Amino acid sequence: MFHSKIVGVGHFVPENVVTNHDLEKLMDTSDEWIQERTGIQERRFYTPPEKGSTAKMAYKASLIALERAKLKPDDIDAIVFATLSPDFYFPGSGVLLQHMLGMGTKPALDVRAQCSGFIYALSVADQFIKTGMYKRILVIGSETQSIALDLTTRGRGMGVLFGDGGGAAILEATEEEGKGILSTHLHSQGEFADVLCIREPGTNEKGHSVYENQHLQFDKISPQMDGQLVFKNAIKRMPEVTMEALQANGLTPADIDMFLPHQANLRISQMVQKFLRLPDDKVYNNIQKYGNTTAATLPILLSDLWEQGRIKEGQLFALAAFGSGFTWASTLIRW
């Protein structure tokens, strides 16, 4: 039976650094307030905003991942692209990346699972490889979120959280037992769909106001969140789904060499770490530098560690995420 192993990772973030002090000039906030509540010190915004930025960041991250894997675009059989901020309402950004890479008519599909998107995309790619349908798959998480943020006092609750960036991982088939992706675990709870969402453009609002020459309502075109409810569920579901993965593989938290939590809020990551009783040297966070890059957070974490030389053969990695939907997911990877 085939298994999936990661043979290359890469990431790209825009050069434009937006610090908390920069946001102080735009809204009633402070560096102290943001760091105390989120742990974020700065984030990156794609500037100037331009068409195709989500796919362009994915392209640059993909080239790095391909180089590290010593592969060419022609060696890739398919793309699975996770994003909540595609370059077009439709089609998805997967086909844009496929064209940029010159991959002929090879398939590309998009996954809309928000902050859990990268693990969902890994799971889809893993199933393709396990069945023998494809040998190598490029898995992407890429987001341009800055253009949807209200960077005024009115929108500061969401505006201080998010950044732009893209990450890539290349999965390859292997027959080596006990290596690569050991399992993936996916969940959703749609009753909370409107707790964290952007309502427009969509088909749920009568009159489709976003398409009419009318004043657009702030609460329909900007991201909205019940922060307390999201926080409460995240600190429950992330350790829960991590334990699910460990138990499915006969492992315990003590077996984890590196835990990578979705980078939504440093306080969430710290509470999940505490629940799993993991020491600081077994948990990696970079939200301080990049903010919440949604589907891109986990591949950016992996690429960061790769660049630091902190990924070693035989290590057990646990990844967990929670986000809009609600969706949550985990995976165990034996390097």
Q: Is 21 a catalytic residue?
A: no
Question: Which residues are CB-contacts of 321 (< 8 A; sequence separation ≥ 6)?
Answer: 115, 116, 118, 119, 238, 261, 262, 297, 298, 327, 328, 329, 330
Given 233, 265, 285, 292, which residue is catalytic?
292
Q: How far apart are CA 300 and CA 49, in angstroms?
A: 21
Q: How far apart are CA 286 and CA 23, in angstroms?
A: 19
Q: For 229-247, how does the pLDDT look when each residue is reduced to its tens digit (9 = 90+)?
A: 888 989 999 999 999 999 9
Given 185, 262, 265, 285, which residue is catalytic?
262
Q: What is the pLDDT averaged over residues 149-164? A: 89
Q: Where are the domains of the chain?
A: 3-174, 180-334
Q: How far apart are CA 169 and CA 167, in angstroms?
A: 7
Structure tokens given for 126 = 């893993």
Q: Is 197 a catalytic residue?
A: no
Q: What is the pLDDT averaged over residues 76-96? A: 94
Task: Burial-class residue 259 by CB neighbours within 10 Å (0-12, 13-18, 19+).
Answer: buried
Q: What is the pLDDT averaged over residues 173-186? A: 94
Query: Residue 123: which of 75, 171, 190 has the closest Cα?
Result: 171
Q: Check pLDDT > 70 for residue 187.
A: yes
Structure tokens given for 163 = 């950044």
Q: How far apart are CA 331 and CA 320, in angstroms?
A: 7
Q: Which residue type does 219 have?
A: D
Q: Does domain 3-174 have CATH number 3.40.47.10?
A: yes
Within a 10 A sphere around the Cβ of 131, how many other Cβ atoms? 10
- What pLDDT is stored for residue 292 in this prediction? 96
Q: Please state the pTM of the whole predicted model.
A: 0.92
Q: What is the pLDDT averaged over residues 131-153? A: 93
255 DSSP assignment: G
Given 11, 115, 185, 285, which residue is catalytic?
115
Q: Which CATH number fits domain 180-334: 1.10.150.120, 3.20.20.80, 3.40.50.170, 3.40.47.10?
A: 3.40.47.10
259 DSSP assignment: E
Q: What are phi and psi of 101, to 5 degrees?
A: -85, -5
- Alpha helix segments (H runs only) across 143-277: 156-159, 218-221, 227-248, 266-276
- What pLDDT is stored for residue 205 in this prediction? 59
Q: What is the pLDDT averaged over residues 266-279? A: 96
Q: For 1-50, how does the pLDDT look when each residue is reduced to its tens digit (9 = 90+)?
A: 799 999 999 999 999 999 999 999 999 999 999 999 999 999 999 987 66
Q: Please give the full DSSP string across 18-46, using - where no structure is assigned.
A: EEHHHHHTTSS--HHHHHHHH---EEE--
Domains 3-174 and 180-334 share a fold: yes
Handedness of CA 34, 147, 197, 271 (dihedral sign): negative
Q: Is 208 a catalytic residue?
A: no
> Measured between alpha carbons, how far is residue 137 from residues 10, 98, 126, 166, 269 in Å?
14, 12, 9, 17, 29
Q: Is residue 211 very low, low, confident or very high in pLDDT (cuts 50, 70, 90)?
A: very low
Q: For 98-111, how does the pLDDT look when each residue is reduced to its tens digit (9 = 90+)?
A: 999 999 999 999 99
Within a 10 A sphere around the Cβ of 135, how many other Cβ atoms? 16
Q: Check pLDDT > 50 for residue 213.
A: no
108 DSSP assignment: E
Question: Which residues are CB-contacts of 324 (< 8 A; sequence separation ≥ 6)?
Answer: 84, 114, 115, 193, 195, 196, 197
